[in-house]
Amino acid sequence: MSGNLLNGARTNWFLLGLVMMCLIGFNAYLAISSIKELTYTQTSLTNTGDNIVKLDDLHLSVLSAESGQRGYLLTDNIIYLEPYQAALSRVRTQIAEVQAIESEMPEQQLRINEIIRLADAKIAELAEIVGLAQQNKDELALRLLKTDRGKNIYLEFRALFDVTRQAEQSYRENLLQRLTKGRDDARLNFILSGLLSSILVILMLMLSFISVKKERKYLAALESQNEELALKVEDRTQELRLYSEELSRSNRELEDFAFVASHDLQEPLRKIQAFGDRLEASFSQELGEQGLDYMKRMRNAAQRMSLLINDLLDFSRINTRGRDFAPTNLTDIINGALDDVEIAIAESNAQINIGNLPVIQADSSQLSQLFLNLLSNSLKFRLPDRAPVITITAAVHQPNIMQQAICQDWYVITLTDNGIGFAEEYAEKIFTPFQRLHGRSEYKGTGIGLAVCRRIVERHRGLIYASGEQGFGATFTLILPADGTPFGSRGETE
């Protein structure tokens, strides 16, 4: 229920956010388009206005120059040359300005070029007549003035000027209409955007209200579930506490029972062995060969049972009778174990290869027992025609998350031999107490040695596993922390 609520809320907010982003993007597009359109229209208005002003100025300057020329010719007064020359100077400048006009209407550019040509022709005609007058050729100048050449040039100039100016004026009016329409569209877009934004804000408020209401309902249900869970956890914790106390009591009783049982069982076994020795020494003649065989079997069985009891007692005391952890050099531990099996090494002509081994926090006595059991196994389970070769190496191990919670630095130690090996299906069974893969007649032992090894490794919070191949030897792998603590020292159930 809570998952569906959260997923529904996320979906609603996602859709609303997507709509808002689309709206913002659309509004931004409209705003940019409107700005571009208004800017272009405003620029065009300014440009066409400048064009009209420049054309009007040119027209006025041509008229001023012609008026000054006619006044000078009719009055022969030099004072009229001043407005003529001033207008003539302006015309040249204005012709250059008009020539620089870039109209947005292609046909206008052709008209402007023709206007410039006619203005140049008109100025040339005016300058020619004034020049004749200044050379005292007044009659010739008046005769040229009365001809229709200058008049025709001006009429053609005036007609083309009117057409050009009217075209620019019409284009300007169109631009003004576009500007007005663009402003109206921008205003409408702004109003629509405001309305849509208001609707979205209202939707957001409504969705927020609904989400808060659902969240309060969900929190109320969650608090109720938490209270129920807390009660269940408290009940379960109480059960586990009682179970832990019962288990601790059972372990103590089991340890006491193991001690009493071993003591009580060892006493009759010792008597069986003692009286068997006396019976054999005093009545060997009367017992005969068959009786002595029975006696030997009885004594061997009693000895095996004594060994079995001692091994069981050692197995039960691994967690309860272990020592505190201290820095332990594994090289020293293995050298000590090799001293204990020195005779077996010499008899089997075994070769022992030891690599660089680390120093770890451990129970040195239990690690001595661990490697003694492993070395004894490798020396015992060997092929008759092959000298044992045992190799012990160490390397850094990359811990997983659970191992990192115990210690950051771990090591993997491997013990490899070339003995009889075992089938892979027995890789886990060999660590079970009393699990034997061979009969007692082939290899001696109680079948509890590897179970003791696993128990020791587990007390050190490590792992042990085996791999092998029938007839090609076995490999025992130990994964141990560099700075561990005994299992059970932090409140764990042993």
Which region, left, alpha or beta, applies to residue 465 given φ > 0 means left and ψ of -120 to 50 means alpha? beta
Residue 6 has pLDDT above 60, yes or no: no
Weakest mean pLDDT among 79-83, 157-161, 468-472: 79-83
pLDDT of residue 164: 76
Weakest mean pLDDT among 4-18, 78-92, 109-123, 279-293: 4-18
Weakest mean pLDDT among 9-23, 214-228, 395-409: 9-23
pLDDT band, very low/low/confident/very high, at 154 (cuts 50, 70, 90): confident
Q: Which residue has the higher pLDDT, 31 or 463?
A: 463
Residue 391 has pLDDT above 60, yes or no: yes
pLDDT of residue 317: 58
Residue 440 has pLDDT above 60, yes or no: no
pLDDT of residue 491: 41
pLDDT of residue 439: 45
- Across the range 143-152, mean pLDDT stands at 70
- Across the range 453-461, mean pLDDT stands at 86
Contacts of the segment 68-72: beta carbons below 8 A, 24+ positions apart: 69/126, 69/129, 69/130, 70/145, 72/130, 72/133
Q: Which residue has the higher pLDDT, 174 or 487?
A: 174
pLDDT of residue 366: 83
pLDDT of residue 307: 64
- Across the range 263-292, mean pLDDT stands at 72
Task: Return mean pLDDT, the chain.
Answer: 76
- Across the range 317-332, mean pLDDT stands at 76
Matching residue, tokens 């050298």: 335
As a whole number of angstroms, the distance between CA 41 and CA 179 comes to 6
> Which of 137-151, 397-411, 426-440 tops mean pLDDT?
397-411
Q: Which residue has the higher pLDDT, 225 or 287?
A: 225
Q: Phi and psi at residue 54, in whole multiples of 5°?
A: -65, -40
Q: How far apart are the first and last CA of the chain?
A: 41
Q: Which residue has the higher pLDDT, 441 or 195?
A: 195
pLDDT of residue 255: 63
How would you class 207 by CB atoms within 10 Å of its CB: exposed for 0-12, middle for 13-18, buried for 19 or more? middle
Residue 80 has pLDDT above 80, yes or no: no
- Across the range 288-312, mean pLDDT stands at 71
Q: Are 153 and 121 in contact (CB under 8 A)?
A: yes
What percent of the chain shows pLDDT beyond 90? 8
pLDDT of residue 124: 75
Residue 65 has pLDDT above 90, yes or no: no
How would you class 333 by CB atoms within 10 Å of its CB: exposed for 0-12, middle for 13-18, buried for 19 or more? buried
pLDDT of residue 224: 83
Q: Cα 82 vs. chain centroid, distance in angstroms?
A: 86
- Across the range 375-399, mean pLDDT stands at 88
Residue 167 has pLDDT above 80, yes or no: no
- Across the range 344-365, mean pLDDT stands at 89
Q: Which residue has the higher pLDDT, 424 or 51?
A: 424
- Across the range 288-300, mean pLDDT stands at 75
* Most distant CA atoms of the chain, gap in Å: 188
Q: Which residue has the higher pLDDT, 333 or 14?
A: 333
- Across the range 31-42, mean pLDDT stands at 72
pLDDT of residue 396: 92
Weakest mean pLDDT among 139-153, 328-342, 369-383: 139-153
Q: Are 402 and 375 in contact (CB under 8 A)?
A: no
pLDDT of residue 149: 73
3-class DSSP string for the chain: CHHHHHHHHHHHHHHHHHHHHHHHHHHHHHHHHHHHHHHHHHHHHHHHHHHHHHHHHHHHHHHHHHHHHHHHHHHCCHHHHHHHHHHHHHHHHHHHHHHCCCCCCHHHHHHHHHHHHHHHHHHHHHHHHHHHHHCCCHHHHHHHHHCCHHHHHHHHHHHHHHHHHHHHHHHHHHHHHHHHHHHHHHHHHHHHHHHHHHHHHHHHHHHHHHHHHHHHHHHHHHHHHHHHHHHHHHHHHHHHHHHHHHHHHHHHHHHHHHHHHHHHHHHHHHHHHHHHHHHHHHHHHHHHHHHHHHHHHHHHHHHHHHHHHHHHHHHHCCCCCCCCCEEEEHHHHHHHHHHHCHHHHHHHCCEEEECCCCEEEECHHHHHHHHHHHHHHHHHCCCCCCCCEEEEEEEEECCCHHHHHHCCCEEEEEEECCCCCCCHHHCCHHHCCCCCCCCCCCCCCCCCHHHHHHHHHHHCCCEEEEEECCCCCEEEEEEEECCCCCCCCCCCCC
Q: Which residue has the higher pLDDT, 256 or 484?
A: 484
pLDDT band, very low/low/confident/very high, at 329 (cuts 50, 70, 90): very high
Sign of the dihedral through C-alpha 404, 405, 411, 414: negative
How would you class 402 by CB atoms within 10 Å of its CB: exposed for 0-12, middle for 13-18, buried for 19 or more? exposed
pLDDT of residue 138: 66
pLDDT of residue 315: 60
> Which of 65-79, 247-261, 386-400 tops mean pLDDT?
386-400
Q: Which residue has the higher pLDDT, 98 or 492?
A: 98
